[in-house]
Chains A and B, each alone.
Chain A
Amino acid sequence: MRESGRMVIREPLVNENMPLSWRKETKPHRFCPGCGHGIALKALGEVVDELGILDQVLYGCDIGCSLLSWDFFNFDSIQTHHGRTIPVIVGAKRARPETVGIAYMGDGGGYAIGAQHLVNAAQRGEQITAILANNTLYAMTGGQMAPTTLPGQKTGTSPYGREVTKTGLPLQGPELVAAIAPEGSYVARATVGEYQQLKKYLKKALDNQIAGRGFSFVEVLSTCPTNWRTNAKQTWAFLQGEMARHFKVGEFRAAETIPAGEER
């Protein structure tokens, strides 16, 4: 019986392709069909496997859909509060620096209610890895406008489309972090539409922490067909089309200096 109280309709899938660090007992996962979280977390699991850091990881998830990942992995984890995952992981990392601290959150948690934590953790060069899924809205609460909502995009709180003159343009998170993070930081924007690149960026972000170089931040462009009210084809088109036009995928800060926003 699943803890969610939903009816069990099939035995947990145990698939040879699952990363070792995935907790098989909690699969299939709790995200909606078509959600990007599963892809981002699969990539994270594979990277943890490849780096062999299962026993070092402390994983914190925000409140929002990301909270559904609390028992997703075989490493230790904690659900925090909306926007407060970064300080929890910062506190643990400062207290036990051998920890590989991962803070996983959505765009509302990272860019709105918890923006001060992202900004200050980046500015101080906290040795943690923050991963932020950007799906252009608040999904768990029913699809409200987020800092990342695209101009003209309809959401629960922008029912006639986001008006940029009243509510601004989509927040450019990695660009902001790259502008303030000190030398040694790693900052990138990936997308669930480019799996190998996503994995590469996540690996570099964790590597950056393990090497003790500084703060690491990866925004992952993600999908929310439930709140976008899109079918599979439309979902893919929105991710690869409109979102990609507003949010430039690539590395913004890395060990080797890369021009801002340049795709690799």
Chain B
Amino acid sequence: MGRKIANIQLSEEYEGVLRKEQRSFMTGNEVVAWAALAAKADFMYGYPITPQNEIMHYWARLAPHFGRGFLQTEDEMSAGFAMLGGALVGKKTFSATAGPGNVLMQEPISMAEMMRIPGVWIIQQRGGPSTATVIYSQQELRLTTTGGNGEGLRIVYSTASHQELFEYTIKAFNTAWQYRFPTFVLGDGYQAKMREAVTLFRPEARGWRLIPAEPILRPPGVPARDRDPVHLRNTFNIEEELYDRLVDQLAAYDRMTAEVIEWEAEVSPETELLLVAHGIVARAAKQAQENLNRQGKKVGYFRPITVRPFPGSALRQAVAANPNLRLLVVESAHGQLLALVKAELYGFTNPLDSLLRPGVGITAEEIEEAVTQHGQKEAVS
């Protein structure tokens, strides 16, 4: 895979970082590159867009010493389709993008959905719509979970810390190659650019089994002699042909859902207000919850880690704990998480409020203030 510039000394040094479970202080983008290395990713195809660029930089620097590949393509469509080509011949491929790049990336992702081609995408959300800011948002939730002209048959992990970026990136490769649905790590510009402590490790050393990649095209054997040729199509002649295919895929997705959904919840029958947030905002929500609980307020916390498939049954269970429970949905977008929560809670009559700050960070203090104001508002009415 490319010119041999492997430096044994350097590769041993890098290996040593993982072997020693080294506590490190680095940016989230650097963490992702290390995670892809630890997950035995074979090839990254990428196109520059802020705030994910350093994933490419670090990967391009690390990859040659481990026989892994990198290609900077002409755009995100090319990066995404090249990923599919690499995955089809049995390699673990990934990319990273954001904002308008995420929009362009939806085309190859829809092909991956249709043809069940595995792949891992790291999304470092930036402000939107359009070019907007290179900084931060949670406005790519809808696009990442259900973009493309299909049914959103993907798995999306929304991370909240550098340790999670490392672990869920590794996990994303396993999920993608086990279930053959496109898999995402949904980060953001804050996670991408800030430095934070993280422990890097070899997944095998912790007993994590890495799912191997198998060739879908060009498996062993001479076609038409040792085996049938593999002919993959994504175009169908009649409606029923497509429908039959989709029924199978939706069933496979449903079977998988129970195995992959993840969430965090802190709720009890005494909880009066449930904060709902994902990603880095969930960290502020957790902090706010702790502060408010110290003040004697009965505040709970719910955080979907898989934002697709959404842990709806867990959310319903949390809400059902107390019929008078109020909800406050907090996000750096204008109602993208809120829409998911409302859909999952169809039929419930609990009061639901929101703190929506599209494209802007949210602190624990702002959430606490919203909760306090909420209480005052209620007292007035």
Interface residues of A (CB under 8 A from B): 3-5, 21, 23, 54-55, 58, 60, 63, 67, 70-71, 73-81, 84, 87-97, 99, 116-117, 119-120
Contacts and interface: CB of A to CB of B under 8 A. Distances in A.
Given A76-B231, A91-B84, A117 B223 contact: no
B47 to A, nearest CB: 11
Contacts, number: 140
B237 interface: yes
Contacts of B115: 78
A94 B230 contact: no
A90 B222 CA distance: 22
Contact of B1 (A70, A80, A95): A95
Contacts of B52: none
B287 interface: no
Contacts of B221: 55
Interface size class of B (residues with CB under 8 A): 35 or more
Contacts of B78: 84, 87, 90, 116-117, 120
A55 B234 CA distance: 23
Given A5-B237, A95-B91, A116-B75, A79 B69 contact: no
B233 A71 contact: yes
A63 B114 CA distance: 15
A88 B235 contact: no
A15 to B, nearest CB: 17
Contacts of A67: 233, 235
Interface of B: 1-2, 42-43, 45, 69, 71, 73-75, 77-86, 88-91, 93, 107-108, 111, 115, 217-218, 221-224, 229-235, 237-238, 241
Given A84-B81, A94-B82, A95-B86, A76 B223 contact: yes
A95 B71 CA distance: 10
Contacts of B218: 58, 76, 92, 96, 99
B229 A70 contact: no
B81 A81 contact: yes
**Residue of A55, A60, A92, A95 with most chain B CB atoms under a 10 A cut-off:** A95
A89 to B, nearest CB: 6
B1 A92 contact: no
26 contacts: A58-B88, A60-B85, A70-B232, A71-B231, A76-B218, A76-B231, A77-B231, A78-B232, A80-B81, A84-B78, A84-B81, A84-B111, A87-B73, A88-B82, A91-B81, A91-B85, A92-B88, A94-B43, A95-B1, A95-B69, A95-B91, A96-B218, A99-B89, A116-B78, A117-B74, A120-B78
A41 to B, nearest CB: 14
B69 A88 contact: no
B73 A73 contact: no
A116 B74 contact: yes
